[in-house]
Chain A
Amino acid sequence: MTPIHYNHKMGAHCESGTVTSLLNHAGLTISEPMVFGIASGIFFGYFHKHKSFTFPTFIVRSRPGDIRKNIQKRLGVKFQTFSFKKEQDGIEKLNELLSQGIPVASQVDFYYMDYVPSWERAHINVHFMVVIGKEGSAYIVSDSYFPKPERVNEESLRRGRFAGGNMSPKGFLFYPKYVPSEVDLRKPILKGIDKACFNMLKLPVPFIGIKGIRLFAKRVVDWPKFARDSEHLSHEVMKINILLEDQGTGGAGFRFMYATFLQQASEIVNNPELKELSTELMTIGDGWREISLFAARIGKNRDLGAGKMKELSDLIMDRAEVEEKFFKKLKKSIK
Chain B
Amino acid sequence: MKEKEGFVDCPEQQMILYVEKEDGQFGPMQTGSFITKNYIDDYFDKRNNLVTSLRDQINRDEISPVKFFMILEDLTLKELSARTRIPMRNIKKHLLPPHFVKLSEELLQRYATVFNITAEQLKKAIPTTELLNDEPAKL
Contact = CB atoms under 8 A, between A and B. Distances in A.
Interface in A238-254: 238, 241-242, 245-246, 248, 250-252
A117 B76 contact: no
A154 to B, nearest CB: 15
Given A118-B129, A296-B35, A250 B14 contact: no
Given A123-B79, A159-B113, A166-B79, A300 B16 contact: no
Contacts of B40: 119
A15 interface: no
B41 to A, nearest CB: 10
B118 interface: no
B35 A238 contact: yes
Nearest to A11: B16
Contacts of A250: 16-18, 28
A246 B35 contact: yes
A147 B10 CA distance: 13
Contacts of A241: 34-35
A257 interface: yes
A112 B28 contact: no
A292 B18 CA distance: 16
B13 A120 contact: yes
Contacts of B6: 251
Interface string A139-180: 000001111000000000001000111101000000000000
Contact of B28 (A32, A51, A252): A32
A12 interface: yes
Contact of B18 (A51, A120, A165, A260): A260
A116 B20 CA distance: 29
Given A118-B129, A118-B134, A159-B116, A246 B15 contact: yes
A252 B26 CA distance: 14
Contacts of B132: 118
Given A54-B76, A146-B14, A147-B14, A296 B28 contact: no
A21 interface: no
Nearest to A55: B74
A137 interface: no
Interface in A29-78: 32-33, 51-54
Contacts of A246: 13, 15, 33, 35-36
B126 interface: no
Interface string B49-61: 1100000000000
A263 B25 CA distance: 8
Nearest to A119: B43
Given A147-B14, A296-B34, A263 B26 contact: yes
A256 B12 contact: no
A222 to B, nearest CB: 19
Nearest to A257: B18
Q: Which 6 A-B pairs have the closest CB atoms?
A: A256-B18, A260-B26, A164-B83, A12-B16, A165-B82, A250-B18
Interface of B: 1, 6, 12-20, 25-28, 30, 33-36, 38-40, 42-44, 46, 49-50, 73-76, 78-79, 82-85, 113-114, 116, 128-129, 132, 134-136
Interface of A: 10-12, 17, 32-33, 51-54, 111-112, 117-120, 122-123, 144-147, 159, 163-166, 168, 231-232, 234-235, 238, 241-242, 245-246, 248, 250-252, 256-257, 259-260, 263, 278, 282, 285-286, 289, 292-293, 296, 299-300
19 contacts: A10-B28, A12-B15, A118-B134, A119-B40, A120-B13, A123-B74, A163-B83, A231-B50, A238-B35, A238-B43, A250-B18, A250-B28, A251-B18, A252-B1, A256-B1, A263-B26, A282-B20, A296-B38, A300-B42
